Amino acid sequence: MAETQHLQAHKLFSMEGKVAVVTGGGSGIGLMTAQALSANGAKVYIIGRNTEKLETASKEHEPDQGEIIPIGNIDVTKKADLEKLVKQIEENEKCIHLLVANAGVSGPKAEPDQEDAGELKDKLWQNETVEQWNETYSTDVTSVYFTTVAFLPLLQASMKPKGSGEKFSANVITTSSMSGIMRHAQGHFAYNAAKGATVHLTKLMSAEFLKAGIRVNSVAPGYFPSEMTAKSSDDRQKSDLPAEKVADKGHVPHMRGGKDEEMARTMLLLATNHYVHGQIIAVDGGVLSTVAS
């Protein structure tokens, strides 16, 4: 039974002594997550293809107590790269406590705004390719699965020897999207379909990995500043998403994008609350309250 002082926020959400891996950690939601975890004491490995961007993110956002460590030249859609990544981390760590499978791409866009079926077909047919759909699914779904599978032994090792760690203290957080829950395509059929698959994959892994003592949950973000939404980032690997650009969409009650702090609170909740399983937490400014899901 907890005493009142045990319920202080810095104790409830402490990541001190924990090791985390964040894919796509060099910008956007991945970098927000790395900052949140490391600011609360974790050693965080940020993963991606672009080494220079990762090194910039690590240098520019160095925390006071934890660490942000870049590992570049990793393509999470390739098994060989995932095996190389696990081996690199095994050389330095006996285990990891948290995997955030965050890497993703936006895929092709074709707005289905034609009433004539022939014109609708032409627009969608000409502006999207099978290859683009396959690339989107490979990055947003397939890589989430194989990244998680690759790290299962290191995650379970955080609870060994038996009894040294609480069951389900090892945790996977996937980054899905509100787009995988809503019925509005937003012109992103490939992305929304892939994120819908990520939502279901999260639930499948949550149920099937219970026997290994590993929790799996998902964050489903709305509009947050990232290279995906803003199309660029600054010299500190941060993006700007003007409130008016979000307000103009007409379906965001908050009339702005999400803040780093709001994503940080959500990630820390799932990282530290061992009693949460298989949940898809939408952090969307109320969008799913106004758009059919």
179, 195, 218, 239: the catalytic one is 195
Helix (H, G, I), strand (E, B) or coil at 233: coil
176, 179, 206, 233: the catalytic one is 176
223: exposed, middle or buried (C-beta count within 10 Å: 0-12, 13-18, 19+)?
A: buried
The question of whether 145 is a catalytic residue gets the answer no
45, 137, 191, 223: the catalytic one is 191
DSSP string for 124-186: HHHH--HHHHHHHHIIIIIHHHHHHHHHHHHHHGGGTTTTSS-TT-EEEEEE--GGGT-S--T
Kindly list the distances between the CA atom of residue 269 and the CA atoms of 146, 207, 263, in Å, as whole numbers in the listed order: 24, 20, 10
Residue type, 172: V
Distance between CA atoms of residues 51 and 69, nearest Å: 11
Rg (CA), the chain: 19
User: What token pair was written down for 252?
Assistant: 């965001």
Whether residue 170 contacts residue 214, with contact meaning beta carbons closer than 8 Å, is answered with yes
Tokens 């980032």 correspond to: 233
Q: Which residues of 157-169 are buried (b: 16+ CB within 10 A; e: fewer)?
A: bbbeeeeebeebb
133: exposed, middle or buried (C-beta count within 10 Å: 0-12, 13-18, 19+)?
A: middle
The question of whether 176 is a catalytic residue gets the answer yes
Q: Could you list the active site residues?
A: 176, 191, 195
